[in-house]
Amino acid sequence: MILLTRLILGSLLLCVTGLLHARPIDEVVDSGYLTISLYEDYAPYSWQEGDQVLGIDADIARRFADHLGVDIKFLVRGADENVDDDLRNNLWKGDLIHRQSADLMMHVPQDRELAARNNLVALMAPYFMEEMAVVANTAVLPVLETFGRFLNKPIAVEVDTAGDFFLSNAFRGKLHPSIRRGRTFAEVVKLYLAAEVPAAMGSKAQMEWIAHQSSDIASIIVQPPMPGIVRTRWPVGYAVKHDSRDLGYALTDVVSDLISSGEMKKITAQYGVSWTAFE
Amino acid sequence: MKQQFLKLAVVSAIACSVGVSASATADAVDTAAIVGDQASTGDIVSYGLGPRGQRYSPLSAINKETIKNLFPVWSFSFGGEKQRGQESQPLVKDGVMYVTGSYSRMWAIDIATGEELWQYDARLPEGILPCCDVVNRGAAILGDKVFFGTLDAKIVALDAKTGKVVWRKKIADFEAGYSYTAAPLIVPTEAHGPLILTGNSGGEFGVVGQVDARNPDTGDLVWSRPVIEGHMGTLNGEESTMTGTANESWPGDMWKNGGGATWLGGTYDADSKLAYFGTGNPAPWNSYLRPGDNKWTSSRVAINPENGEIEWGFQTTPHDGWDYDGVNEFVTFDMEKDGKVIKAGATADRNGFFYVLDRTNGDFVSAVPFVKNITWAKGIDENGRPIFDPENRPGDPAESADGKKGKSIFAVPSFLGGKNWMPMAYSQDTKHFYIPSNEWGMDIWNEPVTYKKGAAYLGAGFTIKPIFDDYIGSLKAIDPASGETKWEYKNKAPLWGGVLTTAGGLVFTGTPEGFLKAFDDETGEELWKFQTGTGIVSSPVTWEQDGEQWLAIVAGWGGAVPLWGGEVAKFVSHLNQGGSVWTFKIPKQLAAK
């Protein structure tokens, strides 16, 4: 209750000043809580079931709070048009309505240009290698060497995502009649599990998660050539406010320990997701 | 000159008698009062001073001669720490003003004293992502209730006397990216009695534009009409008809998430008995992914309120690739041209062209540019279709997959539009439209890498640029019959507020610099201004009370402009937020002279 009151007071202050103050590590520890933002409906990385926040990113985030000996408060947020907007909503400016922001945002791509465009945040500590992939039902698609297979077979994808843009553009738009767009990732999962589509596209972890759910379907994860796609793989880490870098640095140790101890692999394996080392 | 004075005097005499009778009866608002709102000067019971949206008042006590004596009566602060953009148009009934504010708030104010009667504050849930500020554009009134939409995509009916909730209904799911900011529209029907019509708002979240009609007593849905081809409408709880034909102008299943949000609400014409709604841009943003016209995005649709059927559609920007989110209001009027009277309607589109259409069937009459140096189209052909300039369509991001910044194009107008949400006005005296516009363009290029929800894709980058060094905002008087621009007032900052014109020969609008200004409707000469202390991005109103003409404007800087930086920032970054209503009249001692 004290915590809540404090948060409310904090957010009132923010409204008054219109500025989000820094929360370096000492302040986080003294306050007794760490606020971490996660994407909603983003299995296997993060999603909500009732009051519970689940997923790989949520599990890693809890290790951060444990390490600092503080409570964790999750801000589970929808994605805006791009990650630059998410960094604004979740970290440096807060949301438009309640002006709440997090101390740390999970699942931020580690990219020099993204970092340069967003100098009010610091991107750090890559903990996962993201790749684009397809999950396919081998009963229908025993081989999948090219996306040409989808000229006459449907494939599901979450609307308005990198996978959607790739498929819409592939073969000069020829796959259009085959694309089954889900409004959410959960809808994509449902389409595949109901065998309404023999394939889905998204990140490799998302596709492994689908395969993990579909015990009655023999699934394979494949990565056919993706001509025209901007990146097939990229690291993701977290981001903190630019004036609270010491918090971010302190938690890089947690990430290195999770990786070197093999704990990271165990976390992702719970969700059927393979963790691969990266340079 | 003498003749003109005489005419003004006659008009004001008529206006006065109407005003007195209206205030004397103090009837509850019915649809006849709404449809006749323009003529009944004692109240303002619709958005647009009449559902046609002409924003013309027959009042003339405040006129070119007397305006110098116009002074503030009171100012009412919205209070709290919630400010940002105030885009609301007040309503006035029986001496009470009903005004909405940012963050889904509403007040009833005693006009005689400027004191608050009640305040309603919507409790907004976590997790709303309104794309373009936390504004609200106004309320609707019928019987003993006032209605407005909230940012979490709900419509609320409040008791006009107490501000207590009578009913509250979900328009759409805010968790799926929907929001609501427009003023609801109340229309008469034979089949269902009065109906309250709402559009919907949402950013690029795969939303689908829709118009809903509800019973104002209960909030129950009577019909719904999605504006994108392939979607099914409803009537009396059952499926009615499909909008257009699925896939006719969309590839694959893209129509399912096609965009076309009807976020600015609509107008109604009692002569054609049609409701007119503008529809927003298509999704996704990259036009190369959705070959075809993508109907009915960036269009005007005319809907029969009896059954929710689309009578006609007119697409201003087919296959939009510039984010020309053409929701702009369709204002109906009778146009004399070549000795004939055309049952017309006009719309000044986000894409920079001012269109006149036949309001009964949507037939194209004419189109002229109302901003300068338009580059995206070379003109509008005889069927009303743009003559695209392929050189100035943003490039296909897939063409620059080599990881370099792709070709940059300069498109005019910018995606914020030749005209954005702010409503224009039509004078029944000068027969001119007064259009609040902006002279700006945008550089658009392919961004080698953008990320969305953690994943990389080829996106686009853009920056808005003024076209001229010394101004962006431009208020223009346009003759719809000839297409000629009669005068122009230039404003340094972009104009973002609505316009009002009166039989007093005046045109009123507010500026982001904080001034409420009055112009001569024939010459554009600035006759009067008042500094409200914060930027104005709302629509002025005028009415008559106790024999005096009042004027009101909501002040409070915000809206979409400050959310987009670029080179526009230097024109607006110094402007301060606020939240208040100002009222004005000519003091009795001066009026008597």
DSSP per-residue letters across A64-119: HHHHHT-EEEEEEE---SSHHHHHIIIIIS--TTT----SEEEEEE--HHHHHH-T
| CA triple B591-B431-B418, angle to 5 deg | 105
Q: Give the chain B residue whose CA is nearest to the CA of A100.
A: B126
Q: What is the pLDDT of residue B593?
A: 56
Which of residues 239 through 278 in chain A touch B, CB cutoff 8 A?
none
Which positions of chain B have pLDDT values less than 70?
Answer: 1-26, 131-132, 203-205, 400-406, 565, 592-593
Q: What is the pLDDT of residue B404?
A: 66
| A165 shares a domain with A124 | no
Residues of A in contact with B397 (CB under 8 A): 165
Q: The complex's ipTM?
A: 0.85
Q: Does A125 touch chain B (CB under 8 A)?
A: no
Q: Which residues of B are catalytic?
A: 323
Q: Give the chain B residue whose CA is nearest to the CA of A15.
A: B81
* Predicted confidence band of residue A5 (pLDDT cuts 50, 70, 90): very low
- Shortest distance, CA B162 to any CA of chain A (angstroms): 26
Q: What is the pLDDT of residue B2?
A: 38
Comparing B322 with A14, the larger pLDDT belongs to B322
Q: Give the chain B residue whose CA is nearest to the CA of A204.
A: B455
Q: Give the chain A residue whose CA is nearest to the CA of B247.
A: A177
Residue A170 lies in a domain: yes
- Shortest distance, CA A24 to any CA of chain B (angstroms): 25
pLDDT of A8 over the 50 cut: no
Q: What is the pLDDT of residue B452?
A: 87
| Helices A56-68, A245-260: crossing angle, 10 deg rounding | 110
Which of residues 8 through 47 in chain A touch B, CB cutoff 8 A?
12, 15-16, 39-40, 42, 45
First to last CA, chain A: 44
How far is B245 from B261, CA to CA, in rounded Å? Answer: 19
Are B376 and B353 within 8 A, CB to CB?
no
Residue A228 lies in a domain: no
Residues of A in contact with B401 (CB under 8 A): 228-230
| A259 shares a domain with A186 | no
Q: Which of A12-16, A17-21, A158-162, A246-250 has the lowest mean pLDDT?
A: A12-16
| A188 shares a domain with A52 | no
| A151 shares a domain with A33 | no
A-B CB pairs within 8 A amount to 146
- Shortest distance, CA B131 to any CA of chain A (angstroms): 9
Q: Which of A82, A113, A159 sits opposite B206 (nearest CB)?
A: A159
Residue A25 lies in a domain: yes
- Shortest distance, CA A148 to any CA of chain B (angstroms): 16
- Shortest distance, CA A45 to any CA of chain B (angstroms): 10
| A100 shares a domain with A138 | no
Residue A183 lies in a domain: yes
| A26 shares a domain with A116 | yes
Element (H, E) at B334: strand B331-337
The reply to whether residue B454 touches residue A228, judged by beta carbons under 8 angstroms, is no
How far is B593 from B588, CA to CA, in rounded Å? Answer: 9
| CA triple A178-A184-A188, angle to 5 deg | 45
| A28 shares a domain with A74 | yes
Residue A229 lies in a domain: no
How high does pLDDT run on average in chain A?
A: 90
Residues of A in contact with B290 (CB under 8 A): 168
Q: Which domain holds residue A103?
A: 2-129+235-269
Are A34 and A49 within 8 A, CB to CB?
no
Are B558 and B133 within 8 A, CB to CB?
yes
Are B440 and B418 within 8 A, CB to CB?
no
| A243 shares a domain with A217 | no
Residue A239 lies in a domain: yes
| A250 shares a domain with A192 | no
Interface test with A, best of B290, B451, B575 (most A CBs within 10 A): B451
Give the pLDDT confidence of B190-235 residue by residue, as tens digits: 999 999 999 999 865 678 999 999 999 999 999 999 999 999 999 9
B574 residue type, one letter:
H
A250: domain CATH number is: 3.40.190.10
| A149 shares a domain with A98 | no
Total of domains in chain A: 2
Q: What is the pLDDT of residue B6?
A: 40
A158 residue type, one letter:
E
Interface test with A, best of B179, B415, B452 (most A CBs within 10 A): B452
| A167 shares a domain with A104 | no
The reply to whether residue A15 touches residue B177, judged by beta carbons under 8 angstroms, is no
| A134 shares a domain with A211 | yes
Residue A227 lies in a domain: no
Interface test with B, best of A56, A74, A131, A160 (most B CBs within 10 A): A160
Q: What is the pLDDT of residue B399?
A: 72
Residue A276 lies in a domain: no
Q: What is the pLDDT of residue A2?
A: 36
pTM for this entry: 0.90
CA dihedral B227, B228, B230, B234 (to 10 degrees): -20
